[in-house]
Amino acid sequence: MMSNQPVSSHNNTLRVGILGVSNAARRALRVINRAGLLLVAVGADDVVEAEKFVNAFLEDTIERQTELTAAQQQKLGGLPVSEASQEDEKVKACTYEELVVCHEVDVVYVAVPLEERDSWVRRCIRQRKHILTSIPAAPSGDVLQKWVELAAVQRLFLTDDAVLMQGTRMGRLWEMFSRTGDNIVGPLRAIRVCCSCGCNDHCAMAQCNTCDDEDSQFGVLGNWGWMAVAAVLHGMRYAMPSSVLGRALRRDESKGNCVTEFSGELLFTDAGPQEVTAYIYVADAASSSGGVGAVEQSLTAYGTTGSVTLHDFIIPVPDEDGSVHLTVASHDAVQGKQLYRIVRHEKELRVNEPVTFAELPWRRLRDALSPNPHAGASRLASRFLADTEEATECMRRSWSIQVVVDAMLEATTISTKITKKDEERGRGEDGNTTKKA
C-alpha cells in the first residue's frame, strides 16, 4: 500500500506513475529517470501483478548494468551500478486505484487497454494528474474531446507520446519546403509514408509505445498508422485533411478482425496555395506473411522540383556521432540537342538528433510543466502547471491525430462492406445471374 503523504525531496522533479503493465509501460520504465523525471510507482489490476512487473524490470536492469563496460559507464556520467539500482528500487507496486489517488504522483502514463481508459483518465483528471497516454490515445475522438475539456479547466497537460516524438530531424525535413533558406525541392505537393513490421528487435521497439490491446479495433492503425498520421500532420502544421480514403488490405480474424495491412490517402485542400496528397501504407508484416516480412519506416515528401526522404523515421538508426541522414533529391531540366532531359541530383544531409527517440516525449513533457507556487493551498492542487498555450496545442494535436485515424478506420469498414456485397453478387447469392464482361 502506498503512502498518500507528499514527499519532501525532489520538489522540482516530476514524479511519474505508470498505469498498466503493457510493452508501452515496459519502455517507459527504462527511460523516465534518464529523461530527468522520477519514476515512483507502477499500477496494475492487483499488487501481485505490479510487483512481478517491477521485479522483472529490476532484474533486467541489473543484468544490463552488470554487462556495461567502463567506457559505457563513463558515457552515462560514471553512475555506479549500485547507485542506479538504489534509484530503481524506489519504484513501488500498487493497484490502479492506489496509484491514481497517490499524492506522490504528478504525471500518470496511461498504458491500460482502450476499453478501460475512459474511466481511469477521468479519475486521473479529478485527482489533478497530468496525463501522457500510449497510442492509440483514446477509443474515439469524441472520448478524447471530453478528456481535453476536463483537463483544460485544471491547467493539466494531456496528450499522447506520438505528439511529443517529432524531433530535430523531422523539423529539418519540413524546413526544406519553406520559402526561405536552402529550398531546392519547391513547394510541398505530396507525402508518401511506408511502414511495415518484420520480425526483429529493432522493429519490435517501434510498436512498444502502443497500448497492447490485441482486440483493439484499430489494429495496425493504432501503432504504425498512428505514427504515420502524426508525422504527416506535423508536416501539414496540423491542418485537417478535407477527405480521407482507406482500404483494409488484410485483417486478422483471430484478433477481432482488426486491420493488419492498410493503404489510404489524405487530401489537404486548405493547407496552402496548392493541394497536398498524403499516401499512407502500413502493415504488420509478421502477421500478414507468417512471420517473415520486410522492415521499412520511410517518409518521402515531394515538392515540385525534388524530394526529401527520411529513413527509419519512427526509430532513427544514427551513426556513431549521433547524426541521422536525410536524402535530398532535386531535378533539373537540361536542354539536349533535340529534347529536354531531366537530371537528378542527390545528396545526403546530416542532422544531429541530441535526444534519443525513447526519451524525447518525457523530456518535452518535463519542459512543458513548471512548478505551481500555490500547490500547498489545496491537497488536490497539482504541484506543476502546464503552459496554457502549449498544453492546448498538444491536446489539439492529439485530438487531430485521433480524428484522422478514426476516419481511416471508418473508411476501411465502408470499403469492407462494399467488397463483401460485390463478392456476394459475383457468386450470384442475391438471386440474380452475373453477367460476364
Q: Which of 320, 339, 356 is the last residue of a domain?
A: 356
Task: Answer yes or no: is 419 within a domain.
Answer: no
Q: Identify whether residues 249 and 317 lie together within a single domain.
A: yes
Return the closest-CA partner of residue 210 out of 91, 112, 356.
112
CA atoms 10, 11, 14, 17: torsion sign: positive
Q: Identify whether residues 186 and 113 lie together within a single domain.
A: no
Task: Answer yes or no: is 435 within a domain.
Answer: no
Return the closest-CA partner of residue 303 out of 264, 267, 331.
331
What is the distance between the alpha carbons of residues 161 and 227, in angstroms, rounded to a whole number? 10
Encode pLDDT of 332-388 as tens digits: 777 767 777 777 788 888 888 888 888 999 999 999 999 888 776 565 568 898 888
Encode pLDDT of 199-251 as tens digits: 444 455 545 556 555 547 899 999 999 999 999 999 999 999 999 999 999 99
Q: Identify whether residues 337 and 369 lie together within a single domain.
A: no
CATH of the domain at 49: 3.40.50.720
Q: Identify whether residues 152 and 219 lie together within a single domain.
A: no
Q: Which of 319, 334, 356 is the last residue of a domain?
A: 356
Q: Identify whether residues 196 and 48 lie together within a single domain.
A: no
132 is written with which cell numbers?
501522457
Q: Identify whether residues 343 and 205 lie together within a single domain.
A: yes
What is the distance between the alpha carbons of residues 437 and 433, in angstroms, rounded to a whole number? 13
Which neighbouring-strand residues pair with 52?
A: none
Encode pLDDT of 90-136 as tens digits: 799 999 999 999 999 999 999 999 999 999 999 999 999 999 999 99
Per-residue DSSP letter, 434: P
Task: Answer yes or no: is 67 within a domain.
Answer: yes
Q: 3-class DSSP state for residue 111? A: coil
Task: Answer yes or no: is 337 within a domain.
Answer: yes
Single-letter amino acid, residue 320? E
What is the distance between the alpha carbons of residues 9 and 148, in angstroms, rounded to a whole number? 31
Strand (E) or helix (H) holding 412: helix 388-426
φ, ψ at 10 (rounded to 5°): 60, 40
Task: Answer yes or no: is 22 within a domain.
Answer: yes
Q: Identify whether residues 292 and 178 lie together within a single domain.
A: yes
CATH of the domain at 177: 3.30.360.10
Per-residue DSSP letter, 337: S
Task: Answer yes or no: is 423 within a domain.
Answer: no
Cα-based distances in Å from 359 to 174, 222, 290, 298: 22, 21, 33, 21
Encode pLDDT of 164-192 as tens digits: 988 888 989 998 887 665 668 889 999 99
- What is the secondary structure of 213-269 as a DSSP string? -TT-TTGGGGTHHHHHHHHHHHHTTTPPPSEEEEEEEEEEGGGTTEEEEEEEEEEES
Q: Identify whether residues 219 and 77 lie together within a single domain.
A: no
What is the distance between the alpha carbons of residues 106 and 364, in angstroms, rounded to a whole number? 15
In this prediction the pTM is: 0.83
Q: 3-class DSSP state for residue 142? A: helix
Q: Which of 328, 356, 384 is the last residue of a domain?
A: 356
Q: Which domain holds residue 185?
A: 166-356
Q: Identify whether residues 89 and 146 lie together within a single domain.
A: yes
- pLDDT higher than 60, residue 266: yes
Task: Answer yes or no: is 422 within a domain.
Answer: no
- pLDDT higher than 70, residue 55: yes
What is the distance between the alpha carbons of residues 29 and 56, in angstroms, rounded to a whole number? 11
Q: Identify whether residues 346 and 362 lie together within a single domain.
A: no
Q: 3-class DSSP state for residue 176? A: coil
- Domain total for the chain? 2
Q: Identify whether residues 106 and 227 lie together within a single domain.
A: no
Task: Answer yes or no: is 88 within a domain.
Answer: yes
Return the closest-CA partner of residue 168 out of 320, 313, 348.
313
Q: Identify whether residues 157 and 187 lie together within a single domain.
A: no
Q: CB count, 10 Å around CB of 355? A: 15
